[in-house]
Amino acid sequence: PLVSGKLLFERANEFGFAVGAFNFNNMEFLKAILEAAQEEEAPVFLQTTESAIGYAGIEFLAGMVHAVKDSYKVPFALHLDHGRSVESVLLAIRYGYTSVMIDYSDKPYKENLEVTRKVVSLCSPLGISVEAELGRLVGREDEVESVEEVLVDPEQAKEFALGTGIDALAPAIGTAHGAFKFKGEPRLDFERLRRVKERTNLPLVLHGASGVYYEYVNEINMYGGELKGARGVPDDDVRRAIELGINKVNTDTDLRLAFISTLRRMMSEERRNVDPRKFLKPAMEEVKEVVKRRIRLYGSSGKA
């Protein structure tokens, strides 16, 4: 059933596992994620960004989730990913989101603190969880290309947690969104992560965590794509981050790669087909498989 993110954050933090947070923009991804969670008996965050809302419309995205709120036995939250303003959070509240992120991490610290505190005052009385971010991921951040990386300051994280009352914190520890995450070798700042957990004891969120699996990258390149130098976070680094206190892992790129690789192969093989379902069904199946793989990696199978 549809539940508050608070429930998912608290249980993951208590038992030391991570809940998968999977982005969706349409029915196919949403269905694949929920079926994967059901089969793995795992809790999940269903999350949409503001650009997902711009693409599909919030009434479609939230409407689909509310339509199936009692159709799956596993608990799932509907989360606003990278909310950029109080207005965006208010819209999500109006459409029955059960968790929000307010991402003011590229603004001056004091602004981040004040706006995040405001969002907590709006959401907490409604039982809606609030996630915020400290530090900046490289790559696309607030639609600004290749913003300067800023890693989280663990001392500031403690003050921020106390000053805002947030339910969860996303500390920037070296990851980036998308399929091209690292200039050189993949490197997460595990010591910094350990100190943030030690000082805040909050549920922590890992952004930019996709593995960017070579089997999907290869297939995309074989069927007309051009993903040169695509690189993600190794599975062992995700495991290590969860051991050190990550309790929600954001996963978008891995679903995109699974979907697009299958779509490209099907489109090139079935040259007479014009029924979208013939292509979308196997593509959905592949998304479901990669969601199950990530749920198992996060240690959340059987934790519903």
Ligand X SMILES: O=C(COP(=O)(O)O)N(O)CCCCOP(=O)(O)O
Point out which span in 26-34, 105-113, 142-150, 248-256 binds Zn ion (CB under 5 A).
Answer: 248-256
Q: Is 81 in the site for Na ion (CB under 5 A)?
A: yes
Closest CA to 82 of 182, 213, 205: 205
Q: Catalytic site residue 81?
A: yes
Q: Are the C-beta atoms of 144 and 23 separated by less than 8 Å? A: no
Q: Is 207 in the site for Zn ion (CB under 5 A)?
A: yes
Q: Is 209 in the site for ligand X (CB under 6 A)?
A: yes
Q: Under 8 Å CB-to-CB from 212, ≥6 apart: which residues?
A: 179, 181, 230, 231, 232, 233, 253, 254, 257
Q: Which is nearer to Zn ion, 9 or 279 (CB)?
A: 9
Tell me which of 47, 105, 175, 247 binds Ca ion, using CB under 5 A: 105
Q: Is 178 in the site for ligand X (CB under 6 A)?
A: yes
Cβ-based neighbour number of residue 122 at 10 Å: 16
Q: Which is nearer to ligand X, 52 or 263 (CB)?
A: 52
Written as one string, the DSSP assignment of 47-89 is EE-HHHHHHH-HHHHHHHHHHTTTT-SS-EEEEEEEE-SHHHH
d(CA 241, CA 12): 13
Size of the site for Zn ion (CB under 5 A): 2
Using only C-alpha atoms, the chain has a radius of gyration, in whole angstroms, of: 18
Nearest 5°: the CA angle 109, 110, 112 is 65
Cβ of residue 138: shortest distance to Zn ion, in angstroms? 12
Binding mask 106-145 for Ca ion (x = CB under 5 A): ---------------------------x------------
Point out which span in 29-37, 56-64, 186-194, 203-211 binds Zn ion (CB under 5 A).
Answer: 203-211
Binding mask 244-283 for ligand X (x = CB under 6 A): ------xxxx------------------------------
Cβ of residue 301: shortest distance to Na ion, in angstroms? 22
d(CA 42, CA 26): 21
Q: Is 51 in the site for ligand X (CB under 6 A)?
A: yes
Closest CA to 22 of 253, 204, 285, 179: 253
Q: Is 101 in the site for Na ion (CB under 5 A)?
A: yes
Residues binding ligand X (CB under 6 A) = 23, 49, 51-52, 81-82, 177-178, 207-210, 250-253
- List residues with catalytic annotation: 81
